[in-house]
A and B are shown apart, each in its own frame.
Chain A
Amino acid sequence: GAGVSQSPSNKVTEKGKDVELRCDPISGHTALYWYRQSLGQGLEFLIYFQGNSAPDKSGLPSDRFSAERTGGSVSTLTIQRTQQEDSAVYLCASSFTTYNEQFFGPGTRLTVL
């Protein structure tokens, strides 16, 4: 079946602009995660959704970052007033439920000029 998909695959934006990154998890997966992969910081957890529970936002680096998950499926990560340090690959993963294997998407490469 189809794996986790993300769009766009690449995004170039100017400093100060807002961006939206999209994640389509595997159908039936109730848990969804966002991670960030950057040269200086490696792979960092950002946010986690599980079913209808309140999301775990403990990894979001600043209040410019937010995410939502509509209808328990598609998720959007929004970065407001982008900064150059936001440049990274943003990865989405989903799992059947918490503690099951996480399947990763191909990532969105964000470049902030």
Chain B
Amino acid sequence: AQRVTQPEKLLSVFKGAPVELKCNYSYSGSPELFWYVQYSRQRLQLLLRHISRESIKGFTADLNKGETSFHLKKPFAQEEDSAMYYCALQGLNNQGGKLIFGQGTELSVKP
């Protein structure tokens, strides 16, 4: 079964602290993994995807196939990082392009 798990509903850190949002997935095949972000009163937007291996706004994510994880990390959190973060999976085995989302983690960065 295809599943994405984000174990933390809420993560609260202080500005300047490191942050790690956890994501684990279950998929039999080759998945593409994504992180989407939704800032307050804005639409859902792509933050980064595994295949591009980019660092966006200081965030990085490494795909660990052994642990089936795709955790999102940032060494020094900023207040403007406060948002809802969704991990998502896209199957590459003729699954079409549909995204399977985790439940989301709300990140709150306190001053």
Q: In residues 34-49 of chain A, which contact B (Cβ within 8 Å)? A: 35, 42-45, 48
Q: Which of A12-20, A78-86, A95-103 contacts B (4 or more CB under 8 A)?
A: A95-103
A106: Cβ under 8 A from any B Cβ: yes
Q: What total count of A-B pairs have CB within 8 Å?
A: 51
Give the contacting residue for B104; candidates A31, A43, A98; CB below 8 A.
Answer: A43
Set of chain A residues within 8 Å of B98, measured between Cβ atoms: 33, 45, 48, 56, 59
Instruction: Provide the bound-state CA to CA distance between A59 and B43, in Å.
Output: 22
Q: Size range of the interface on A?
A: 20 to 34
The residue in chain B whose Cβ has the minimal distance to the Cβ of A89 is B44
Instruction: Provide the bound-state CA to CA distance between A100 and B96, in Å.
Output: 11
Give the contacting residue for A42; candidates B45, B49, B96, B103; CB below 8 A.
Answer: B103
What is the interface of chain B, defined by CB distance below 8 A to chain A? Answer: 32, 43-46, 49, 86, 88, 90, 92, 96-104
What is the interface of chain A, defined by CB distance below 8 A to chain B? Answer: 3, 31, 33, 35, 42-45, 48, 50, 56, 59, 91, 93, 95, 98-107
The 8 closest A-B pairs by CB, nearest first: A43-B101, A98-B97, A104-B44, A42-B103, A45-B98, A56-B96, A48-B96, A104-B43
